[in-house]
Structure 1
Amino acid sequence: MKKRRKLLIALLAVILVPGAIGFGFNFFSWNSNKEVSKQTMTVDGEINVSPVSEGASLLPGDKICDKVEFDIKSTATSLLRVKIVPYISDTVSGDKQSADVCKIENSENSKWIDGKDGYYYYSEGVSKANGTIPFDNKIYFDIPEGGESNDYQGKYIHANVQAEMVQAKHGVFEQQWGVGSGHAAYAKLKAISNAQGE
């Protein structure tokens, strides 16, 4: 009985081993190539500023410009922020000297959030589907505290409008603009970013 058991085990070994070797040569291989192409989305726009009437001189309290608009050309849903940098100069194209001669007043129902960091943040995502976005806050010529109107007599007042856009997705604004959770516009910008998904 013991002999027969040994023989049976030996026969199974002989049958199984060649089968295992045979499978070793029947390997599977697959080689393929597929390319996916999609155009990247753009973040782009233009600034349009309408000056006050030609030839009009400014007095303290007057508007510096009649209209500021942002023509959005971005195909990607984007976030928009704006900074108004005031200057004075002796001539139209003369050397510009920094001066705090602008006052910005929020219009009623304005969609702009004062970030308290020198920027105003638009409270909605923008793209070329929006067309033109107005800066509906008003920009006025203002004399800084302790200043005299005569100090600005004959000077040229400049309001340099600077606009920036970043894609809304993936919370890019946090690192790109340095806007953290304690910022005045953070919650709104984060909600717009989150709504874009992955």
Structure 2
Amino acid sequence: MKKSLLIGLLIFSLVALLVVGGTMAWFTDTKEASNNFTAGTVKIQILENGQTGAVVKENVNPGDTYDKEVKVQSLGTKRTYVRVSINPVWEGNLPINNVNLIFASGELGTNWVDGGDGWYYYKHILAAGALTEPLLSKVEITGSLTGDDYQGKKLTVNVKAEAVQASHEAYKDAFGITALPAGVEIWTE
């Protein structure tokens, strides 16, 4: 009996140790963190005479001058470099030497630089939501250079604007240039 009681106590002790050992717990903790990065945006629009969309003039005459104020507005969240090309084209590939582009302030003014590559570069980094100063103000059709060949023909003044984030010299890849034209503000942040 003592032997069976001893065996019984031994078995009970082992079972008790297994139960206690199996239910032992360690202090633990687990955390997770998410870091969200939202990319900025570069988006622009061209404003001509304060409006988006094409400016249409009908029944034009040699010697006429028309308002064509060209500005670019940033609609994105990033600070950007902006450049604009202006290319007049006569229907029928007639010569364009009779088209005079009149820049704001008489010349390019203090806000634009002729890059010598067919593009005009805005001298200042355009802030998010901002508007450039005007590049172009008027288009003139020189009377003495506009003969009968131009009758009934349409003049299209194509305006194209491009923008790229100002940081990390992105203009090199986006614009395909190695340096900004002299006089254009350099990104310093």
TM, length-normalised to structure 1: 0.62
Question: What secondary structure is seen at the aligned counterpart in 1 of 2:88?
Answer: strand
Deviation per residue, 1:152-198 (Å, 9 max, x gap) = 122111101100000000111122212234xxx53444x432x2x2x
Alignment of 1:1-198 (within 5 A): 34-50=33-49, 51=55, 55=58, 57-60=60-63, 62-63=65-66, 65-89=67-91, 97=93, 99-100=95-96, 102-108=99-105, 109-130=109-130, 132-142=131-141, 148-181=146-179, 185-189=180-184, 191-193=185-187, 195=188, 197=189
CA distance in 1, matches of 2:61, 2:120: 24
Question: What secondary structure is seen at the aligned counterpart in 2 of 1:47?
Answer: strand
Question: What secondary structure is seen at the aligned counterpart in 2 of 1:176?
Answer: helix
1:47–1:98 Cα change, 3 Å: farther
For the aligned residue pairs, the C-alpha RMSD in angstroms reads 3.0
Is there any run of 5+ residues in structure 1 with no aligned partner, and where? 1-30, 90-95
Is there any run of 5+ residues in structure 2 with no aligned partner, and where? 1-29, 50-54
Q: Which runs of 4+ in 1 moved over 6 A?
A: none
Question: What secondary structure is seen at the aligned counterpart in 2 of 1:192?
Answer: coil
Question: Could you tell me which residue of structure 1 aligns to residue 6 of structure 2?
Answer: none
In 2, are the aligned partners of 1:110 and 1:137 still within 8 Å (CA)?
A: no
1:58–1:68 Cα change, 3 Å: farther
TM, length-normalised to structure 2: 0.64
1:82–1:40 Cα change, 3 Å: same
One-letter amino acid of the structure 1 residue matched with residue 84 of structure 2: V
Larger Rg over CA atoms: 2
In 1, are the aligned partners of 2:102 and 2:140 still within 8 Å (CA)?
A: no
Pairs aligned (count) = 150
Question: What secondary structure is seen at the aligned counterpart in 1 of 2:168?
Answer: helix
